[in-house]
Structure 1
Amino acid sequence: MKSLLATRPEAANPVFQLDVLNQARRQGDSFPAFAGKLREAGLFPLQATGISTLQLNVGKMCNQVCKHCHVDAGPDRKEIMTRDTMRQCLAALRAAPGIRTVDLTGGAPEMNPDFRWLVEEVSALGRQLIVRCNLTIILANKKYYDLPDFFARHGVRVVSSLPYFTASRTDAQRGEGVFEKSIKALQMLNAAGYGLPGSDLSLDLVFNPSGAFLPGNQAALEKEFKRRLASYGISFHQLLTITNLPVSRFLDYLLESGNYDTYMSQLVQGFNPAAAANVMCRSTLSVGWDGQLYDCDFNQMLDLPVGGAVPRHIRDFELAALAGRAVVLNQHCYGCTAGAGSSCGGATAA
C-alpha cells in the first residue's frame, strides 16, 4: 500500500478509504471479498432481521481529537443534526413502536444545541435511551457539569469510552490529561447513582485497542478494569470491547505505520461465522446528522447509504421496507466479524 501514501488525500475522504480497502483486495486477491466469506458461511446476502435500535449521529463536533476515531470528529467539525431532522426521527419512532432503543452518538452528542431537547422527547416516548459520552465533555464547560444528574432524571444508559485504566495509554490515544478528567467524570457519574451495584442507572465502559491488534477477552478485561478502577473509588456495570475498523483516522494510522496489511490479515483470518450472524447492522438502523440512512455508523463514515429499493432519508421512513433490507457490505466489515465479534454493544460471539 506504500504507493498510496505519496499522494494520499485527507484520510476522512470516503472515496479514498473505499479505494484503499478495495485496491488491497484486488492486488493479488490477498484479502478475499467479505461477501464471499459470508457466502461460504451461508449468510449472503446479509439481511436485516428487523429494527430494534435507531442510532442517531447528532453531529461530528467533539471536544476531543482521538487517534482512533472513525468519525474524524473534533472541535472544528460543523456537521450537526438540526431540530427539524430530530423531529423526523421522532416521527419514525412513533410510527415504529417496536424500535425500543435510541442510541445517541457523535462526535460528542452533548455538544449539539438541541441535545437535551431530544433526550427529553425520546424519554417521553418511553424508549430506552443510550448516550455515548466521552466523559471529558462533562468537565469541558460549566454548562455540562450537571449532565450526570440530567442523565439520571431521564434514565439514560451512559456508555463511555475509556481506552485503558492507566494515564499513559489513555492520554496517548486521546490527548494529555484525558485520563485524569475521565476519572473525575466517572466519579461524578457514580455520585449521581450511575454504575453502582444494584443501581438501575447503567454505566458501561468501552475499550478500543490502542494499536493494530484485536481486543482481548471481554470478560477478562472487564474484571481487570473493575479491579484497577476500584482504586479510584469507581464502579461500573459492563465493559464492552470494540474492534477498531480500518476507517478514517485508524485507517490513516495503519497506512502511516505500515500495519495495514498485517491488520487486515488478522481481521480476515479471524472471521467468525457466529459473530457474522450477530452483527449489529441486522437489527440497527443508523441515521446520519443530515437524516440520511445507513446500515451502521461505519458505513455512514464511508458514505455507503442503505441499498436497494428502500427509503434513504429518515423523513421517508418505512418500517416494512427497511426492516428486511439487504445490508451494504465492504472490506471493513471484517472488523465486526473477527474473533469474538464487535458491535456498539461489545462482543457478539463466545
Structure 2
Amino acid sequence: GPNRPEVMNRTTLELVMATLERLPFQTLDLTGGAPELNPGFRDLVRQARRLGLRVLDRCNLTVLAEPGQEDLADFLAAQDCALIASLPCYLEIHVDAQRGHGVFAASLAGLRRLNALGYGVPGSGLVLDLVYNPQGPDLPPPQAILEEDYRRVLLAEHGLHFNRLLTLANLPVGRFGSLLLSKGQLQDYVARLRGAHRAENLPTVMCRELISVDWQGYLYDCDFNQMLGLPLAAGAGHAHLRDLAALILEGAPIAVAGHCYGCTAGQGSSCGGALTGMT
C-alpha cells in the first residue's frame, strides 16, 4: 500500500510466476499502492499473459504520469490488461478533497491517455472500469444508477469513456478504520453494516474464489484479511505461497470477522463491485 514501504522482491515474484504456471488459475489481480512501480511488474504481467491468464491491474491513474512510466499505458494495452481505476467522484472538488489537490486533473489526464489507446471505448476490447467508494461511513448508492451519472458527466463534460463503474463499500480496516475510531464512529458503522447484512450476497463474496498474496508471499482469504493480518484459514499457521500446491482449498473454511459485513451489506461489495442489483 501507499503507506507501506514493503515491496515484493524478485524471489517472491518468481515464486508467483512459478505458481501461476503450476496451478490452474484464471486471473491475476494486481494491487498495491501502485503495483506498476515494482521493478518486476512487467515480467509478471508478460508471464501471466503468456499462460493465457486474464490480468487485472488496479491502476492508480496518476501513476501513468510518473517519471519513467511514460510507456506504461502502451505496455498495458499491448498486454491486453484489464484496468480498474479509482475515481471516487466525477466532481473535482470531491476528488481533490479526498485525495489531494490536483489528483482529479491528473486522473482525467490518465483517462484521456487510456481512451486514446482504446481503453473503455466501445468495441475496442480493452477494459477500463472505474471504482467508487463512499467518502464517509455510508453504504454506496445503487451501482447502476451511479454508473449512469458517472457516464453522463464524464462524457458530456470531459469526453471520456469507461466500461463499468464498480461501487465498493468502505471496510472498517486500515486508514478508514483508524479515521472512524478517531471520530468515535467505528462501532456505529460496524453495527450499520451488520444491520444491512444480506445472506443472498454470501454465494458471490470474493473470498470464495480468490487467494490474496502479500509482499512476502504469505496467503490470506482476501485483501482485507491481509490488511488485518488474518492468515488463510485453510493453512496450518501462516500458509505461504510455496505451500499452496499442498493445501486443499475446496470446501475449506474462510477466516471471517466483523469487517466481513462490509462485503455482505446492502447490494454487497467485492473486488468486482456490487454483488446484487439491490439497493
TM-score range with shorter-chain normalisation?
over 0.9
CA distance in 2, matches of 1:298, 1:309: 17
Structure-2 change in CA distance of 1:314 and 1:342 (3 Å): same
Match of 1:146 in 2: 71
8 Å Cα contact 1:204/1:237 also seen in 2: yes
CA-based RMSD? 1.3
For these two proteins, the number of residue pairs brought into alignment is: 275
| 1:96 paired residue among 14, 19, 23 | 23
Match of 2:196 in 1: 270
Structure-2 change in CA distance of 1:323 and 1:86 (3 Å): farther
CA distance in 1, matches of 2:136, 2:246: 39
Q: Does 1:78 align with 2:5?
A: yes
Structure-2 change in CA distance of 1:322 and 1:89 (3 Å): farther
Q: Does 1:111 align with 2:25?
A: no
Match of 2:133 in 1: 208
Match of 2:167 in 1: 241
CA distance in 1, matches of 2:10, 2:230: 24
Percent of matched pairs sharing the same residue: 47
Q: Give the Å deviation of 1:262.
A: 2.3
CA distance in 2, matches of 1:207, 1:309: 33
Match of 1:332 in 2: 259
Higher relative contact order (CA 8 A, sep 6+): 1
Q: Deviations over 1:68-114 (max 9, x none)?
A: xxxxx23xx320111211111122222222x1110000011011111
Q: Give the Å deviation of 1:193.
A: 0.9
CA distance in 2, matches of 1:342, 1:285: 17
| 1:295 paired residue among 221, 232, 245 | 221
8 Å Cα contact 2:220/2:232 also seen in 1: yes
Match of 1:224 in 2: 149
- The structure 1 segments of at least 4 consecutive aligned residues displaced by more than 6 Å after TM superposition are none
| 2:14 paired residue among 87, 98, 116 | 87
8 Å Cα contact 1:104/1:131 also seen in 2: yes
CA distance in 2, matches of 1:319, 1:162: 39
CA distance in 2, matches of 1:93, 1:202: 22
Match of 2:272 in 1: 345
CA distance in 1, matches of 2:185, 2:166: 25
Structure 1 unmatched runs, 5+: 1-59, 61-72
CA distance in 2, matches of 1:275, 1:187: 35
8 Å Cα contact 1:215/1:242 also seen in 2: yes
Q: Give the Å deviation of 1:319.
A: 6.4
Q: Deviations over 1:196-219 (max 9, x none)?
A: 011200000000001110000000
Q: Deviations over 1:125-181 (max 9, x none)?
A: 11000000010111122x112211110100100000000001111111111110000
Q: Does 1:135 align with 2:61?
A: yes
Match of 2:96 in 1: 171
